[in-house]
Amino acid sequence: HAYIKEVEAFQTTDKNELEQFRIKFIGSKGILKDLFAAFKAVPNEEKKAFGQLINQLKNAAEEKVAQITATLEAATLSAPTLNDLTRPGEAFTLGARHPISIVKNQILDVFASIGFNVSDGPEIEDDWHNFTALNLPEYHPARDMQDTFFIQTNPDILLRTHTSSVQVRYMEANKPPIRTISPGRVFRNEAISSRSHCIFHQVEGLYIDKDVSFADLKQTVLYFTKEMFGKSKIRLRPSYFPFTEPSAEVDIYWGLKTETDYRITKGTGWLEIMGCGMVDPNVLKNCNINPDEFTGFAFGMGIERIAMLLYQIGDIRMFYENDVRFLNQFSSAI
């Protein structure tokens, strides 16, 4: 009886005291153990009453331990969480920006710093803005340079093959001086491989003013490669585009430090990063700009290829698979 009273009266907020209590009553050398041992010696007629008492004591002790343990646990959970300012914060996960967006924003920033604004236009285009205004009349063989996805023929409606279409729209709507950058998704009916895809992203630029020269173009491209890649070794190779004359292809010297550099540059260390040239007078005329008064240059580059170089991505298809293991690797970039 005295033990039962003691058990019922027991209270503590201390873990160690509780443990002492548990050992004293239910431990392997505890009071209950002794009582069960003594039970054997109890005369038969008293066995029932004695047994009931031991069981009562056992249940009371066990219940007490369980109840105090629960109270203590609840207390350790809430109090310090609310009051302890030294506890480490709980991390929460932010998504990652897509590498194409990261690189696109970097390119736009570089050109913003030299006065280019950003323009955009529709992905579904008409023949005029994608081809004809750009000095590619119907049946012009250069139309085959960019295999086109047609949505409708006669009149032709198509998925734009470059964002030069945006430049046409911009010239139609604005008077020189013009300094604009047109980023966007473009579409070409090409076989998909590790190096090319039927959907990709471009940034094209257009600069029109009085007395704009090829030297201005060259210097702008050089400024861009320095800012974007920290590299100033570039070369311009003569090329052909129907909308520019003269035209050039810009290569930058990337080097051959890694396996991916080797793959992407086909072992030369040089990588073609953009096409460019002086805007053809016919294009200016088509957009109601007087070629005797104004000249300009244009350039265009693929974002994927630049992102592949910067992040050492060996296969262009990774950009479109949306595998979170790939995308999460960009979570530290802004």
Residues annotated within a binding site for Mg(2+):
245
Q: CB 303 → ligand PHE: shortest distance, Å?
A: 12
Assess contact for 7 and 60: CB atoms under 8 A.
yes
Residue 241 binds ligand PHE (CB under 6 A): yes
- In the numeric block, the tokens 């010239």 are attached to 171
The number of beta carbons lying within 10 Å of the beta carbon of residue 294 is 19
Identify residues 21-60 at the interface with ligand PHE (CB under 6 A): none
Window of 3-11, 210-218, 259-267, 295-303 that interacts with ligand PHE by CB under 6 A: 295-303
Rounded (10°) CA dihedral 109, 104, 254, 301 = -110
R_g of the chain computed on alpha carbons: 39
Q: How far apart are CA 12 and CA 21, in angstroms?
A: 10
Binding residues: 245
24 in helix, strand or coil? Answer: helix
Q: CB 302 → ligand PHE: shortest distance, Å?
A: 8
Closest CA to 134 of 230, 62, 206: 206
Which residue number has the CB closest to ligand PHE? 300
Q: Which is nearer to ligand PHE, 207 or 330 (CB)?
A: 207
Site string for ligand PHE, 150-169 (x = CB under 6 A): ------------x-x-----
Residue 208 binds ligand PHE (CB under 6 A): no
Q: CB 163 → ligand PHE: shortest distance, Å?
A: 7
Q: Which is nearer to ligand PHE, 97 or 218 (CB)?
A: 218
Residue 299 binds ligand PHE (CB under 6 A): yes
What is the number of residues in the chain? 334
- What lies within 8 Å, CB to CB, of 214 at 6+ separation is 246, 278, 297
Assess contact for 307 and 320: CB atoms under 8 A.
no
Q: Which is nearer to ligand PHE, 35 or 133 (CB)?
A: 133
Residue 300 binds ligand PHE (CB under 6 A): yes
Q: Residue 313: enclosing H or E segment and its boundaries? A: none
- What lies within 8 Å, CB to CB, of 308 at 6+ separation is 260, 264, 314, 316
Residue 183 binds ligand PHE (CB under 6 A): no
Site string for ligand PHE, 259-278 (x = CB under 6 A): ----------------xxx-
Query: Count of residues binding ligand PHE (CB under 6 A)?
Result: 11
**Contacting positions for ligand PHE (CB under 6 A):** 162, 164, 204, 241, 244, 275-277, 298-300
